Amino acid sequence: MSETGEPREIRNFGPELDFVKPDNDVLIVKLFGTWKIGSQVPGFNRLTKELEKDSLIRKIRFDSSGLGRWDSILITFLLKIANYCEQKQIELTTEGLPEGVINLCKLASSVPERTAIRTSQIKLSLTTRVGIHVARIWGSIAETITFVGEIAIAFFRFLTGRARFRWSDLLLIIQESGAQALPIVSLISLLVGLILAFVGSIQLKMFGAQIYIANLVAIAMVRAMGAIMTGIIMAGRTGASFAARIGSMQVNEEIDALKTAGLPPMEFLVLPRIIALAVMMPLLTLYANLMGILGGMIVGVGGFDIGIREYLNATKGSLTLTTVGIGLFSSFIFGILVATAGCLRGMQCSRSASAVGEATTSAVVTSIVSIIIATAIITIGCNILGI
């Protein structure tokens, strides 16, 4: 970097300061050695002490004949001096500093510092903060309701054949959220079936009623667990991916591009996703039910000497079309909820990478909470209706 014509010995020392007073009101700051990031820079207070000692000093000059290599650390030091001098109204002469140093200092102070306070930095009182929070919650409820309304309008346009989206998109989403989810759905629901059978069998064995394992597993899986487990898998897998996908499109201004191109994002992005999940969730749930029953059968047949035919007959006997229907209806609702939550959070995403992360988290949380609430409502509803 910059070098002057002094002997090497002086310039290879670490950074050092010295002060000379040729006149009563003049202070010469001598700079020695290498001023580079990482070296032990002399404290700024050494200069201020020197100035406080002698309040007569009105001028500061520099002597850089002993200065060796330097980088930004020297510039920051000099800018601090300049700032201090401006406050104390001391005259500062840059003469005696290397040309490069002066130029960089000038460049750094050429654009005035922005002093306007950002809105996010203003301190607010407790009541204001509570008020803002409530207003925000209210806003987000209103936003959700608007979103649901827009989905309804888009769906109406779809039914009348006027919705604009690409069928290839829909098929791709169906493939991604349906067929490609089969392995994980198989694994989870098989294990849930196994667990239900094991837990139930311990109680049932006490009464010698092992055969009822089949009934327990079949009813629990088909009526509730199949749909709930599939819903939760879909929330983590597909809902999160919807939110991340739409969120990053928001970051890239792709959503704006769709809007200005006259393609409503509601129809183009949200509608196919909701349709895909509404269609695929019942199918996946049906499949999950079968896997769960298979899991129960493995325990029943393998561990409690129930014949396969016997087990299947008991299963068949315990299931009614209503039970299956309730499970499939729930899963249809869950599909819509998961897709809506994913798309809603994605559309609400602001423009940064961390916002995409928040959108994804929030999508999964919203999906799971709404699945559980929906299950409660459906169960209570069925109870009242007596089915």
Partner 1 sequence: MIGEVQKQNKDKAVFEPIIVVEDLTMAFGDNVIQRDLTFTINRGDIFIVMGGSGCGKSTLMRNLIGLQRPARGKVFYDKESFWDIEESERERILRRIGVMYQGGALWSSMTLAENIMLIIQEYQKIDHDQALELASLKLALVGLAGFEDYYPSEISGGMKKRASIARAMALDPEILFLDEPSGGLDPISARMLDDLILQLKSSMGTTVVVITHELASIFSIGNDSVFLDTESKTIIASGNPKKLLEECDNDTVRRFLTRGASEPRIQAIGRA
Among positions 7, 45, 118, 261, the unique one binding partner 1 when judged by CB under 8 A: 118
In what side-by-side order are the strands of the sheet with 91-92?
Answer: 16-23, 26-35, 59-70, 91-92
Per CB under 8 A, does 110 bind partner 1? yes
Among positions 38, 161, 208, 386, the unique one binding partner 1 when judged by CB under 8 A: 38
Per CB under 8 A, does 195 bind partner 1? no
Nearest to 35 by CA among 2, 9, 5, 57: 2
SS3 (DSSP) at 26: strand
Structure-block tokens of residue 147: 């979103």
Among positions 55, 113, 126, 261, the unique one binding partner 1 when judged by CB under 8 A: 113
Among positions 12, 18, 72, 179, the unique one binding partner 1 when judged by CB under 8 A: 72
Question: Least distance from C-beta 251 to partner 1, angstroms?
Answer: 9
Question: Least distance from C-beta 138 to partner 1, angstroms?
Answer: 25
Per CB under 8 A, does 41 bind partner 1? yes
DSSP 235: I
Residue number with CB closer to partner 1 (8 or 114): 114
Question: Least distance from C-beta 265 to partner 1, angstroms?
Answer: 21
Residue type, 155: F
SS3 (DSSP) at 91: strand
Q: Which stretch binds partner 1 (CB under 8 A): 21-29, 98-106, 133-141, 255-263?
A: 98-106
Please give the Cα distance from 135 to 124 (Å, whole number): 15
Residue number with CB closer to partner 1 (71 or 169): 71
Using CB under 8 A as the binding criterion, the count of chain residues that bind partner 1 stands at 35
Inter-CA distances, 348 with 44, 132, 273, 345, Å? 48, 18, 16, 5
Backbone CA torsion sign across 320, 321, 324, 329: negative
Question: Least distance from C-beta 357 to partner 1, angstroms?
Answer: 9
**In sequence order, which residues have a C-beta less than 8 Å from that of residue 277 and are 6 or more positions away?**
177, 234, 238, 335, 336, 338, 339
Using a 10 angstrom Cβ sphere, with 0-12 exposed, 13-18 middle and 19 or more buried, the burial of residue 277 is: buried
Please give the Cα distance from 270 to 152 (Å, whole number): 11
Give the CA dihedral 367, 368, 373, 374, nearest 10 degrees: 60
Among positions 24, 115, 160, 383, the unique one binding partner 1 when judged by CB under 8 A: 115
Among positions 71, 169, 176, 310, the unique one binding partner 1 when judged by CB under 8 A: 71
Residue number with CB closer to partner 1 (224 or 355): 355
Per CB under 8 A, does 75 bind partner 1? yes
Please give the Cα distance from 129 to 111 (Å, whole number): 35
Number of Cβ within a 10 Å radius of residue 61: 18
DSSP β-bridge partners for residue 16: 32
N residues, the chain: 387
Residue number with CB closer to partner 1 (119 or 260): 119
Residue number with CB closer to partner 1 (12 or 146): 12
161 phi-psi bin (left φ>0, alpha ψ -120 to 50, beta other): left
Residue number with CB closer to partner 1 (83 or 175): 83
Region 344-383 residues binding partner 1, contact defined as CB under 8 A: 350-355
Q: Which stretch binds partner 1 (CB under 8 A): 11-19, 93-101, 189-197, 364-372?
A: 93-101
Residue number with CB closer to partner 1 (80 or 166): 80
Among positions 111, 159, 321, 384, the unique one binding partner 1 when judged by CB under 8 A: 111
Among positions 8, 22, 55, 99, the unique one binding partner 1 when judged by CB under 8 A: 99
Q: Which stretch binds partner 1 (CB under 8 A): 67-75, 144-152, 180-188, 271-279?
A: 67-75
Write out the residues near partner 1 by the rule CB under 8 A: 1-2, 37-38, 41, 71-73, 75-76, 79-80, 98-101, 103-104, 107-115, 118, 121, 350-355
